[in-house]
């Protein structure tokens, strides 16, 4: 992943419960991954996936847990799911961040834009 990715969600309003259920469902499909969903106010939501590190990895950074962060923004009445390259550990996670984001977008019936 070297750029931001965005999906349009088919929502007419922010749906915290739907996002939480979808994120938890996605996390359950990956060994050791957990999900936390937060309401940031004003229609904005955040999803944090914690991805476990590999204790046997050569580099210390790979041994520690990493966080993939996605955001849902309301822009002109449209809800957008965004994977921002510079947020949290997204650039470090690379393909894992992409995979988590794609699974979440699919679960929410998001369309890439």
Region for 22 from its dihedrals, namely left if φ exceeds 0, alpha if ψ lies in -120 to 50, beta otherwise: alpha
Helix (H, G, I), strand (E, B) or coil at 13: coil
The Cα–Cα gap between 36 and 75 comes to 23
Residue ranges covered by each domain of the chain: 5-112
Fold of 5-112: TATA-Binding Protein (3.30.310)
Q: Record the pTM.
A: 0.89
pLDDT tens over the chain, length 113 residues: 457 899 999 998 889 999 999 999 999 999 999 999 999 988 899 999 999 987 787 877 777 888 999 999 999 989 999 998 888 776 767 888 899 999 999 999 999 99
The Cα–Cα gap between 85 and 17 comes to 25
């Amino acid at each position: 992943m070297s750029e931001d990715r965005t999906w349009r969600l088919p929502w007419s309003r922010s749906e915290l419960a739907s996002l939480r259920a979808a994120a938890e469902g996605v996390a359950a499909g990956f060994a050791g991954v957990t999900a936390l969903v937060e309401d940031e106010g004003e229609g904005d939501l955040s999803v944090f996936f914690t991805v476990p590190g590999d204790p046997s990895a050569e580099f210390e950074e790979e041994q520690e847990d990493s966080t993939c962060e996605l955001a849902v923004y309301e822009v002109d009445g449209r809800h957008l799911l965004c994977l921002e390259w510079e947020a949290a550990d997204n650039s470090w996670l690379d393909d894992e961040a992409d995979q988590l984001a794609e699974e979440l977008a699919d679960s929410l019936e998001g369309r890439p834009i």
